[in-house]
Amino acid sequence: MDLFFDPEQLLLRGQVRSWVEKNLISSVTREADIGQQARQLVSQLGHEGFTAYVASKRFGGVKEKVQARDLCIIREELARGSALADTMFAMQALGSYPITVAGSDKQKKRYLPPVARGEAIAAFALTEPQAGSDVSSMETRAVRDGDGYRLTGIKRFISNAGIAQTYTVFALTDPDKRAKGMSAFVVQADTPGFVFKENTPLLSPHPLGVIAFEDCRVPRAQLLGKEGEGLKIALATLDTLRCTVAAAAVGFAQRALEEALQYSQKRRQFGQALAQFQATQFKLADMATELEASRLLAYQAAWANDHNQKDLKQKSSMAKLFATEAAQRIVDQALQIHGGTGVVVGTPVEQLYRDVRALRIYEGTSEIQRLVIARSLL
Ligand SMILES: Cc1cc2nc3c(=O)[nH]c(=O)nc-3n(C[C@H](O)[C@H](O)[C@H](O)COP(=O)(O)OP(=O)(O)OC[C@H]3O[C@@H](n4cnc5c(N)ncnc54)[C@H](O)[C@@H]3O)c2cc1C
């Protein structure tokens, strides 16, 4: 594995891991006020310097260029400790990366440093009631209005809805061209006409909700790139960040394996520890093997991103598909090894069982990843 990393990245992993051990492991997230916890986590992640890895050095970050391997290392280690911490870090990256990809220096200077410091929360608003996997069904419009645009439409399933300050929003400037007529805007939550509608409670703690644009006027200076470049910006963002979803899956699966190893050596039935039954050993061996394969695919894709490899799209889709599906199987087996204890609310495997599910859906479902891979093969 170390082949993929430079010495600084190995140090980063150690740094995140020890912070996670000290601050996150063994705290099960159950409190109702997810928004409050989420805000607190972003500020902690900023204080520790972790969110700085989402921006480039000139704009408050750590390195000349944002490195997918750094983002993967941080997500893997955070996910091992807390799904919410992973989400909050991931969203700082997803919400701000379109600005890194397509923003002007002026836009980057204004929006990136507060996100990198954990002082502003970022969000990425693409999905709509009628446009999930099929973004070409988007209905949100951005109509020219003097020297700006007037946005109207609804976005659902938006992570950090209601708690973010900085939203990257995708809207049609040329509806006749469908997805190719899409543009990207930075919209601040305090803009008149920006409306937070409601929270959408999930299986696992995750700030998610619906937002609306009701004649929301944004100046032209908030357009990212040029008109019609929205799809390109969204896809470039997702191509880079998809491997980080795989890394989060690896973090959940790693924790599940650790929990299963520990429990199977402690729990005794029929006069011996569960780990002494070959049936348990085979489960553990399969879990560890799938985990290692997932980790290799995730970091191979991240390496491909950081080295501008042409097959990035295929590699990041393979990593996301395999790692998220494998993590689901690994967590399920870890729960099975725990028997009844595994389904008791509050045990780490019960929490992992809920946490891992959404990864097979967001940033492109497993089916959509298969379509991308098949397209690249054919
Ligand atoms: C926890 C979570 C966080 C999210 N955060 C964000 C966010 O911050 N910003 C944002 O914009 N969106 C976000 N989303 C939305 C997410 O990206 C969408 O849910 C996802 O793209 C799928 O869209 P959908 O839910 O509308 O499902 P649909 O597109 O309706 O799909 C339903 C089912 O049909 C399948 N399907 C669809 N098309 C095909 C096809 N061509 N071939 C085969 N099968 C197909 C899908 O794979 C899926 O199984 C989030 C979602 C979740 C669950």
Assigned CATH class of 231-377: mainly alpha
Return the structure tokens found at 302.
């991240």
> With 70 as the cut, is the pLDDT of residue 28 above it?
no
State what percent of residues in the chain have pLDDT above 70. Answer: 98
CB 145 within 8 A of CB 101: no
| 45 C-alpha to ligand 1 centroid (Å) | 28
3-state secondary structure of 143: strand
Q: Could you give the angle at which helices 68-81 and 230-266 cross, rounded to 10 degrees?
A: 40
Tell me: the pLDDT tens digits for 133-168?
Answer: 999 999 999 999 999 999 999 999 999 999 999 999
Pocket test for ligand 1, best of 97, 362, 363 (most atoms within 8 A of CB): 362
Closest CA to 58 of 109, 13, 7: 109
pLDDT at 2: 79
Query: Does ligand 1 lie within 6 Å of residue 132's CB atom?
Result: yes
31: how many CB neighbours lie within 10 A of its CB?
A: 9
Query: Residue 293 class from Cβ within 10 Å (0-12 exposed, 13-18 middle, 19+ buried)?
Result: middle
| 63 C-alpha to ligand 1 centroid (Å) | 32
What mean pLDDT do residues 269-275 have? 98
The helices-and-strands tally (H runs, E runs) of the chain is: 10, 10
Domain regions of the chain by residue span: 2-121, 123-228, 231-377
Report d(CA 340, CA 155) in Å as an integer: 40
Residues with catalytic function:
363
> With 70 as the cut, is the pLDDT of residue 30 above it?
no
Which atom of ligand 1 lies nearest, measured to the CA of 126?
11
Residue closest via CA to ligand 1's atom 48 equals 365
CB 324 within 8 A of CB 259: no
What's the CATH fold of domain 123-228? Butyryl-CoA Dehydrogenase, subunit A; domain 2 (2.40.110)
Alpha helices in the chain (DSSP H): 7-23, 34-47, 68-81, 83-102, 105-116, 230-266, 278-306, 312-337, 348-355, 366-377
Query: Does ligand 1 lie within 6 Å of residue 170's CB atom?
Result: no
What mean pLDDT do residues 119-125 have? 98
Pocket test for ligand 1, best of 87, 137, 361 (most atoms within 8 A of CB): 361
Same topology, domains 2-121 and 231-377? Answer is no
Closest CA to 127 of 185, 182, 90, 170: 170
Report d(CA 157, CA 94) in Å as an integer: 14
Tell me: the pLDDT tens digits for 31-71?
Answer: 568 999 999 999 999 999 999 999 999 999 999 999 999 99
Global pTM value: 0.97
Least confident of 20-34, 103-117, 277-291: 20-34
Q: What is the identity of the amino acid at 51? A: T
Length of the chain: 378
What's the CATH fold of domain 2-121? Butyryl-Coa Dehydrogenase, subunit A; domain 1 (1.10.540)
pLDDT at 33: 85
Instruction: List Cβ neighbours of 279 (8 Å cut-off, separation of 6 or more).
Output: none
What mean pLDDT do residues 362-372 have? 98
Which atom of ligand 1 lies nearest, measured to the CA of 160?
8
Report d(CA 232, CA 270) in Å as an integer: 60
In the chain the first and final C-alpha atoms are separated, in Å, by: 30
Beta bridge partners of 272: 269
Q: What is the identity of the amino acid at 185? A: F
Residue closest via CA to ligand 1's atom 35 equals 367
Which atom of ligand 1 lies nearest, measured to the CA of 365?
47
pLDDT at 136: 95
Tell me: the pLDDT tens digits for 235-267?
Answer: 999 999 999 999 999 999 999 999 999 999 999
> With 70 as the cut, is the pLDDT of residue 116 above it?
yes
Residue closest via CA to ligand 1's atom 41 equals 368
| 132 C-alpha to ligand 1 centroid (Å) | 5
| 200 C-alpha to ligand 1 centroid (Å) | 15
